Structure 1
Amino acid sequence: MENNEAEKKREMKAKEHNLQNREISDSLKRNNIRIIGVPEEEEREIGLEGLWEQIIAEKLPNLGKDTDIKIQKAQRTPITFNKNQPSTRHIIVKFTKYSGKERIMKAAREKKSLTYNGRQIRFAADLSTETWQARKEWQDTFSVLNQKNMQPRILSPARLSFKIEGEIKSFPDKQKLKESVTTKPALREILRGTLSGEKR
């Protein structure tokens, strides 16, 4: 029993430590946008900052004139080799202010689809791998709630929020949602299969 208790404490501390690391990593990346899909040869003549200015001038011209939106730096992600998923390295753009990043992201979301030189590109928040994984784990649940018009949202960094019985509920992880579902039969029926891992 003592060994079990010690093991549980170690697991809890490891979980807390991982959560703290994720929060630190995400806070360091708070002002960053990740641009996905721009080939590396595009920046050879004009550099990454010049490429960023070109993309904004073409795709979001109203924001290109905004003197309050300034970037601190732009860089490519480090080289990682994955033979199963060859892709160009992402561009990370760091803004001097969080508000500048948010305005760019809002404008990009409103555009819905962005292309540069005939290629599809995408803007995304620059988050830690752990946060992206946590968000990905909500995918099935989010899809089911969306089909039922329950207005699901992924809140920063990886909380699921949705509307039920006129109230907005928010959950940090699937365990908390599972605990809540036990007291709500209608919600349990809607999410049957998405929380236990079984197929619907």
Structure 2
Amino acid sequence: MRQRNTFQAREHHKTPEKELSETESSDLLDKEFKQNRMRMLTDMQRRMDEHSEHISKELEDIKKNQSEMKNTILEMRNSLEGLNSRVEEAEEQISELDERLEEITQAEQKREKRIRQKENSVRELWDNIKCANIRIIGVPEGEERDKGAENLFVEIIEENFPHLRKETDIQVQEAQRAPNKKSPKRPTPRHIIIKMSKIKDKERILKAARERPQVTYKGKPIRLSADFSVETLQARREWHNIFKVLKGKNLQPRILYPSRLSFRMEGEIKSFPDKQKLKEFITKKPVLQEMLKGLI
């Protein structure tokens, strides 16, 4: 019995110590919790500060990049403005050059026109000087040596146009070969130039020559034509081959002054100042186009 009481007393004496230990434990837990929370808050604050610092740095980088981009854009704009300015200057220079070129072209055209007018004036002057002349083509060299060129011309008139000899007193002012000296490089005989006293007589003789199928001297074919300046003759010679073809087809071709080709077709007289106009015309005339193939 005594032992049991002793045990109970001992147990009763131990209880306050146990309760104190639990309180201390609770305090410890609370303190540890607070410490953990503080650490967490501190860590969170640290991370937030780091994040904030990172964001601030990124913002600074963005601002820096924006500034650089603005500078780049400004430089590009300035460069573009400079290019636009140079383009405008170049366009102005090109425009000025175009205007200058147009002025030069117009001046050149006027100069060429004046030259052509002067050439035409000289040609017309020479043609007027030669307006009473007849050119005889195809008479052999030396035929006029004994009888003279004037008498030779009279023989041609009597052989081909005896009615003119009877009807008209044909008067010749001058008759000679042209050029004065024969060129060894020219196999054909020189032409004989007959200067008539009256233009009317020249025109009657040439009209009669056109109406004959052939003009002859001692039975051999020759040609009579008007006498013109070198320029007019050259322009008229351009029609030579075409003239022969048209004459062979009985289209009654003529060379009008100064160098227009005319012929009769489909009951009408057609006239052309140059080959280009004739070429444009025959594109609509297949028969004539085939006839003149290779000549235009």
In which range does the TM-score fall when normalised by the shorter chain? 0.7 to 0.9
**In 1, distance between residues paired with 2:287 and 2:203?**
37
Q: Which residue of 1 aligns with 2:12?
A: none
Which ranges of structure 1 fall in alignment gaps of 5 or more residues?
none
Q: Is residue 2:158 matched to residue 1:57?
A: yes
Matches within 5 A, 1:29-178: 29-79=130-180, 82-138=183-239, 153-161=254-262, 170-174=271-275, 177=277
**TM-score (norm: length of structure 2):** 0.53
| Post-superposition offset of 1:100 | 0.6
2:179 aligned partner, one-letter code:
P
User: What SS class does the counterpart of residue 20 from structure 1 fall into?
Assistant: helix
Residues 41 and 144 of structure 1: is their aligned pair in 2 closer, same or farther, counting only changes over 3 Å?
Answer: closer
Residues 71 and 174 of structure 1: is their aligned pair in 2 closer, same or farther, counting only changes over 3 Å?
Answer: same
Name which structure has the greater RCO, CA cutoff 8 Å, separation 6+: 1
Of structures 1 and 2, the larger Rg is shown by: 2
**In 2, distance between residues paired with 1:52 and 1:40?**
14
Identical aligned residues as a percent? 50
RMSD, aligned α-carbons: 3.6
**TM-score (norm: length of structure 1):** 0.73
In the alignment, which of 123, 126, 129 is matched to residue 28 of structure 1?
A: 129
After superposition, the C-alpha distances for 1:66-111 in whole angstroms (9 at most, x for unaligned) are 3343222211112455555322221111111121111111222233
Residues 94 and 199 of structure 1: is their aligned pair in 2 closer, same or farther, counting only changes over 3 Å?
Answer: closer
Q: Greater share of strand residues, 1 or 2?
A: 1
Equivalent pairs counted in the alignment come to: 194
**In 2, distance between residues paired with 1:96 and 1:157?**
22
Residues 18 and 107 of structure 1: is their aligned pair in 2 closer, same or farther, counting only changes over 3 Å?
Answer: same
**In 2, distance between residues paired with 1:166 and 1:38?**
36
The answer to whether the 8 Å contact 1:35/1:124 transfers is yes
The answer to whether the 8 Å contact 2:242/2:295 transfers is no
After superposition, the C-alpha distances for 1:138-194 in whole angstroms (9 at most, x for unaligned) are 45776888899987643222123467898756443456x38xx59x983699769x8
